[in-house]
């Protein structure tokens, strides 16, 4: 027995202003999230992107080709309803931020980490008022409580749509500072992605490339860059 698949049932896809933002309509009917909540996004730019995803569907609807629709669904169905928990999850990355854990050897890797990561930690200290402590090795090292509270406040000021994008930036990079640096325009997502992969690229230089690992990294990079695009649109 073949698996049931949702098929395209509409002819015209439009977006229009509505109460609280912008919505997408299929033959005049508003799109809803999987939780049956009206899909309303904060900006016309994002609504236009989502409408284009729906319009691009052919005979069978392919959710994997609709990343901004899925992001909006997550922001509305999950993040908005569990906002405090999501803020806690994101802010907790500050306790084990990637930028704070440095190699003990070799010297070349230590230098690469310092050259890319020290300026971002300095930015966190100067612009976010959150000074984090650098540790050598992989063993857990605590961070100043005042810095963690300040970073939490920066996360807590964001909307559900911003939090949805920030979560992807932070979770995929392993760094709250990197995620906030992208969100606040200190660096772009392409630079942040490269900065987050210093250790991986070092290992590749030592042992060679792996096609499967490269393909997975390429997909994650695409998602990472898309998260910044979502941030800019909202």
Output the six-digit token pair for 82: 């569990």
Mean pLDDT of 162-178: 97
Tell me which residue range forms the domain holding 38. 13-65
Mean pLDDT of 90-117: 97
pLDDT digits (tens, 9 = 90+) for 32-89: 999 999 999 999 999 999 999 999 999 899 999 999 999 999 999 999 999 999 999 9
Q: With respect to residue 213, please indicate whether it lies within any of the assigned structural domains.
A: yes
* CB distance 10 to 26 below 8 Å: yes
Sequence-distant (6+) residues with CB within 8 A of 17 are 44
* CB distance 92 to 118 below 8 Å: no
Q: Is there a single domain that holds both residue 90 and residue 45?
A: no
Q: Residue 7: its pLDDT value, please?
A: 87
Q: How many domains are contained in the chain? A: 2
Instruction: Classify burial at 15, counting beta carbons within 10 Å of its beta carbon; exposed 0-12, middle 13-18, buried 19 or more.
Output: buried
Q: Is there a single domain that holds both residue 27 and residue 88?
A: no
Spatial separation of the C-alpha atoms in residues 23 and 16, rounded to whole Å? 6
Q: Residue 5: its pLDDT value, please?
A: 66
Residue 108, CA atoms < 13 Å, CB-side half-sphere: 5
Q: Is there a single domain that holds both residue 187 and residue 104?
A: yes
Residue 137 pLDDT class (50, 70, 90 cuts)? confident
Mean pLDDT of 163-178: 97
Q: Is there a single domain that holds both residue 136 and residue 46?
A: no
Q: Is there a single domain that holds both residue 46 and residue 147?
A: no
Q: Is there a single domain that holds both residue 200 and residue 137?
A: yes
């Amino acid at each position: 027995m073949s698996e049931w698949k949702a098929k395209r049932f509409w002819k015209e896809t439009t977006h229009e202003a509505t109460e609280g933002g912008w919505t997408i309509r299929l033959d005049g009917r508003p799109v809803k999230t999987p939780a049956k909540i009206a899909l309303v996004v904060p900006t016309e730019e994002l609504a236009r992107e989502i409408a284009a995803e729906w319009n691009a569907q052919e005979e069978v609807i392919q959710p994997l080709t609709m990343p901004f629709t899925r992001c909006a669904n997550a922001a509305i169905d999950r993040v908005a309803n569990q906002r405090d928990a999501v803020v806690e999850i994101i802010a907790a990355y500050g306790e084990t931020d990637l930028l704070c854990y440095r190699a003990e050897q070799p010297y070349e890797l230590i230098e690469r980490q310092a050259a890319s990561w020290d300026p971002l930690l300095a930015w966190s200290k100067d612009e976010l008022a959150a000074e984090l402590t650098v540790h050598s090795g992989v063993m857990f090292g605590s961070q100043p409580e005042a810095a963690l509270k300040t970073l939490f406040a920066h996360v807590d000021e964001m909307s559900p749509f911003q939090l949805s994008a920030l979560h992807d930036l932070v979770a995929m990079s392993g760094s709250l500072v990197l995620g906030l640096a992208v969100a606040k325009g200190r660096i772009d997502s392409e630079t942040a992605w490269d900065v987050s992969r210093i250790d991986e690229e070092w290992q590749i230089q030592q042992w060679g490339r792996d096609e499967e690992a490269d393909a997975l990294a390429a997909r994650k990079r695409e998602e990472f860059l898309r998260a910044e695009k979502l941030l800019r649109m909202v």
